[in-house]
Amino acid sequence: MGYDVYGVGNALLDIQYDVTEAFLAEHNIGKGLMTYTSHEDQDKIMQAIGDGQLRLVAPGGSVANSMIALSYFGGDGYFSCRVADDDAGKLYWSAMHEAGLASNFDHSPMPEEGHTGRCVVQITPDADRTMLTYLGASAELNEGQIDLDALAQSKYFYIEGYLTTSPGALKAVIAAKEHAQKHGVKVAVTLSDPAIVQNFRPQFEELIGDGVDLIFSNKQEALDYAQVPTLAEAEKVLKQITKSYVITVGAKGSIVYDDHERVMVPATEEKAIDTLGAGDMYAGAFLYGITHGLNGAQAGYLANITSSKVVTMYGPRINKADTIALRQQLIDHCGRVLT
């Protein structure tokens, strides 16, 4: 069986709270950023917030969210990650299968010790999300978690930029990328987060190497990677390292370049209450679109309406029923049936 997308990324249990900007300032937490921390420091922050502000607990992780979106739309996906043999790991394993994804859990046992990764997501009243991440077992992701046979049978290999922070994970995905390219599998990379790009740019350069087929980024990530002041200059840099790219530009929508044509895809206006997962949903919908006969503009439209939907609700993903409705909205918009 072949797969539309083979994804690899961190396995994180999302624990989401409502907080104020004053709380973030009091605890010296950088608003709107992702910061790595320890399991113990996460516990201290959660105790300080209090259970009364808890919104939800759900399996997450950037590429994991994207892969679930792809599966909900009807795509075939395979997701590789590393979890611990704890309650969080078992919940994660179950959620991936319920979402319809194949995974390396089918072929390799979970480690027996340690903790599954967690992400404490703090949502401020302006709908911005600030994340404190403990990688846990994900920090030890290695080549043993990559199913090379499944990868070789996929259309796209999708790599999470957060993996550049772990030497072992970086080594594993670089080897997997070479294997994918050897078998004609296209490679997509997400830049993930401005702070990651700023602090691990050499690792991104090592990962991208001679080039990839598709890069996902937001405006700030593109500027940080290119190390230039304007988006136009950043796009010139991206064209040197990737055949296609997508840059989300907030309320303006997204820029899609598909190797020969650049289009600006307008955003759908929605009142945001939680921006967590917007970029992940965009990538999952876009990957579904380009593996099912859509051109860049059409895939960008589907991705925009999907990311616009997720910001109107709490949590990193839209549910399957909403995904099916968005798929129909795309069909009505394009006047065609998806392949």
Report the CATH number at residue 160.
3.40.1190.20
Tell me the pLDDT of the chain averaged across its residues. 89
Beta-strand relationship, 212-218 and 102-103: unpaired
pLDDT in tens, 306-331: 877 655 455 556 666 677 666 677 66
Instruction: Return the pLDDT at 332.
Output: 64
Instruction: Return the pLDDT at 127.
Output: 82
Instruction: Return the pLDDT at 57.
Output: 86
Distance from C-alpha of 63 to C-alpha of 282, rounded to nearest angstrom: 11
Distance from C-alpha of 80 to C-alpha of 230, rounded to nearest angstrom: 36
Query: Which DSSP string do the residues of 47-114 spell out, in sequence order?
Result: HHH-GGGEEEEEEE-HHHHHHHHHHHHT--EEEE----SSHHHHHHHHHHHHTT-EEGGGTSPPPSSS
Higher pLDDT, 150 or 251: 150
pLDDT in tens, 73-94: 999 999 999 999 888 888 888 8
pLDDT in tens, 180-200: 999 999 999 999 999 999 999
Looking at the domain assignment, is residue 122 inside a domain?
Answer: no
Lowest mean pLDDT among 11-20, 106-115, 289-298: 106-115
- pTM, two decimals, is 0.88
- What residues are paired with 258 via a beta bridge? 244
Looking at the domain assignment, is residue 164 inside a domain?
Answer: yes
Looking at the domain assignment, is residue 224 inside a domain?
Answer: yes
pLDDT in tens, 49-75: 999 999 888 888 999 999 999 999 999
Looking at the domain assignment, is residue 127 inside a domain?
Answer: no
Looking at the domain assignment, is residue 42 inside a domain?
Answer: no
Looking at the domain assignment, is residue 31 inside a domain?
Answer: no
Confidence of residue 176 (pLDDT cuts 50, 70, 90): very high
Distance from C-alpha of 54 to C-alpha of 67, rounded to nearest angstrom: 25
- What residues are paired with 186 via a beta bridge? 156
Confidence of residue 143 (pLDDT cuts 50, 70, 90): very high
pLDDT in tens, 262-310: 999 987 765 554 455 578 989 999 999 999 999 999 999 999 888 776 5
Looking at the domain assignment, is residue 309 inside a domain?
Answer: yes
Beta-strand relationship, 54-60 and 12-18: antiparallel
Residue in 194, 196, 188, 193 with CA at minimum distance from that of residue 159: 188
Structurally, the chain folds into a number of domains equal to: 1
Whether residue 6 contacts residue 266, with contact meaning beta carbons closer than 8 Å, is answered with: no
Distance from C-alpha of 144 to C-alpha of 337, rounded to nearest angstrom: 39
Q: End-to-end alpha-carbon separation of the chain, Å?
A: 17
Instruction: Return the pLDDT at 273.
Output: 40
Whether residue 228 contacts residue 234, with contact meaning beta carbons closer than 8 Å, is answered with: yes
Distance from C-alpha of 140 to C-alpha of 82, rounded to nearest angstrom: 7
Q: Domain range holding 181? A: 3-11+62-108+141-334
Whether residue 104 contacts residue 111, with contact meaning beta carbons closer than 8 Å, is answered with: no
Looking at the domain assignment, is residue 113 inside a domain?
Answer: no
Residue 19: φ, ψ to 5°: -140, 170
